[in-house]
Amino acid sequence: MSDPAFRDEVVRAIEVYEKVIGHQATRTWPMIERYGIMGALSRLVVSPDLQKGFKALRDSHQLEYSFEAIVVRHKDDFESDVVEAAQWRLNHADELL
């Protein structure tokens, strides 16, 4: 996807995450460079590991900036399994460690 508004939304989400953790997202940026935004978000959302970013944003009550929330908002641009995984995490956010 080459939509500048989508890219801006992802960049803003990373900036919020970086502000919460107090330093640069050193693993996220290289992953985006390697796989592109769509590929990176898809990989992170379906990963069996719960990312630090999700936890940090959840704990700071800012899940609207999570990659999961972005995927759900742009569900027509992602594979259905990615959207389902993202929605599941959002629905169970408080249960996940």
pLDDT in tens, the chain (97 residues): 568 999 999 999 999 999 999 999 999 999 999 999 999 999 999 998 888 889 999 999 999 999 999 999 999 999 999 999 999 999 999 887 7
Give the burial class of 67: count Cβ atoms within 10 A of its Cβ; 0-12 exposed, 13-18 middle, 19 or more buried.
Answer: buried
Q: What does pTM read for this prediction?
A: 0.92
